[in-house]
Amino acid sequence: MIAFTAKTMYTPLERIEEPLLIVEDGFISEVTSRSRREIPEHCQHFDFAGAVLAPAFIDIHIHGGAGHDVMEGDPVSLHAFEKLMASHGVGNYLPTTVTAPVEVTLSALGRLADTIEQGADCSEGRARPLGIHLEGPFISHVRRGVHPPENLLLPSLKAFDRFWDAARGYIRMMTIAPELPGAQEVIAEAVKRGVCVSLGHSDADMGSTRTAVAAGARHATHAFNAMRPLDHRHPGILGEVLTDSHLSADIIADGIHLDPAIVDLFLKIKGVESAVLITDATAATGMPEGRYRLGALDVEVRGGKCLSNGKLAGSVLTMDHAVRNVMQFARWDLQQSLRLATLNPARVAGLDTGGCLKPRSPANILVLNREGEIQKTIMGGVCNF
C-alpha cells in the first residue's frame, strides 16, 4: 500500500485540499483528505508538499515522438516514444495512423493491436495504448493536409471491415469526411461497433455535417485545421462544430496551428465540457530540428513547425505544454485546463477508468506546480521521473 499526499488535488472535477490518495497494486483504492482519514500505518508514504496532484493526461491523437512513428510498430520504437510521452505527463494514448497504401495500413494496425494486447508496464514509466485512432484514408482530397492523395479512399463497409479486422476491433476513433459518398453508411456501422466517429479533413457543408451527426458522429478532429473555413453566409462544417452542443471537438493548442485568440474563442464557445486537447505530435517531438517521418512522409522541423512540402504536418507539441498554453491563451485556471487533457478525452474515447482520480482507476498521477509544470509522474503507482 502506498499513500500520496500534497497541498491540493484536482480529480479533475473535484478540488480536494490536503488530499490523501491511497494506491494498492497499481490502482487507486481510496481518494480522500487528511482531515477525514489518517495515513494508514505500515504503508509507504510520499508527500509532495505545496504541489498539486492530478490525473495523467490522455492523448487521443498522436503520431509519434522521440524519433519514432507509431506506424513503425516495433517494440523498441514504441517504448522510446512511450517513455517520452510519460515524461510529459501522458498515461494513456491512441496511436494515430496517417494515410498510407492499404497494405501498409493493415500491417501497422496489426502491429498496434499486438502492442495493445501485450500492454505496457506502467512501472517502467511508459504511456499505455488503449486503442487506435484511424485518421484517413476516408478523408477529403480538398482538405487532406499532407495525407498522400494517391492513398485516399472513398468510404465503404468493405474497406472499413478490412481495417477493423486488421486492428482486431481496437479502433476507438476514426476521422472521416462526412461529405464523401458512402460516408454515412460507414459512420453508422462504426458507431454500432463503439467507435467514436470524428469529423475532420473535410470540405463538408453544414447539411452534410448535420447528416453525419444524425448518423452518430459526435466529435471533430483538430477544429479549424484541415476543414472548410467558417463563412458568414455558408458556415459549413465549422458552423456545426461550433454551434452544436452535442459535438465535442479537439484542437492543437501550440500557438502555430491556431492563433492564441482562436484558441480563446474556441474554448469560450465549446466550454470546459466539450473541448479536448490533442498534440497531433510526430516523430520529431522531443528531438532537435531536422528531418523525420510521418507515416510514409518526410517532414522537417524548423522553428517549432513540423512541415512537409511547406505545409503543416502535425506538431512537436507535448500535452503538458498544451495545458499551460490554455492557461495563457484563454486565462483558464489549472483545474479547468487539466480537464481538457484528462477527463474529456477519456470520455470521447470511451475510456471508463481513465482521466480521473477515483477508486479502481489506474494510479497514473501527475505532481504539478501551480503553473502546470510537471514535477514528477507516477505511473501504476510508481514514481518514475
Q: Which of 280, 298, 320, 333 is catalytic?
A: 280
Q: List the end-to-end C-alpha distance of the chain, in Å, as a whole number.
A: 20
Answer yes or no: do 13 and 120 share one domain.
no
Q: Which residue has the cell 504511456?
A: 127
DSSP 243-262: H-TT-EEEEE-SSSSS-HHH
Answer yes or no: do 248 and 325 share one domain.
yes
Answer yes or no: do 90 and 49 share one domain.
no
The whole-model pTM stands at 0.96
Contacts of 202 (CB under 8 A, 6+ apart): 139, 140, 143, 176, 177, 178, 179, 209, 226, 227, 228, 237
Range of the domain at 360: 1-55+355-385
pLDDT in tens, 43-85: 999 999 999 999 999 999 999 999 999 998 788 888 999 999 9
| CATH number for the domain harbouring residue 324 | 3.20.20.140
Measured distance CA(58)–CA(72) in Å, rounded: 21
pLDDT in tens, 57-66: 999 999 999 9
- pLDDT tens for the chain, 385 residues long, are 999 999 999 999 999 999 999 999 999 999 999 999 999 999 999 999 999 999 999 999 999 999 999 998 788 888 999 999 999 999 999 999 999 999 999 999 999 999 999 875 556 789 999 999 999 999 999 999 999 999 999 999 999 999 999 999 999 999 999 999 999 999 999 999 999 999 999 999 999 999 999 999 999 999 999 999 999 999 999 999 999 999 999 999 999 999 999 999 999 999 999 999 999 999 999 999 999 888 878 889 988 999 888 899 999 999 999 999 999 999 999 999 999 999 999 999 998 878 999 999 999 999 999 999 999 999 999 987 6
| CATH number for the domain harbouring residue 360 | 2.30.40.10
Answer yes or no: do 103 and 39 share one domain.
no
Nearest in space to 98 (alpha carbons), one of 61, 139, 137, 59: 137
Nearest in space to 310 (alpha carbons), one of 152, 151, 145: 145
Answer yes or no: do 104 and 151 share one domain.
yes
Query: Which of 84-116 are b and which e, b meaning 16 or more Cβ less than 10 Å from the residue's Cβ?
Result: bbbbbbbbbbbbbbbbbeeeebbebbebbbebb
> Does 280 participate in catalysis according to the annotation?
yes
Answer yes or no: do 176 and 242 share one domain.
yes
Q: How many domains are contained in the chain? A: 2
> In whole angstroms, how large is the CA radius of gyration of the chain?
20
Answer yes or no: do 31 and 97 share one domain.
no
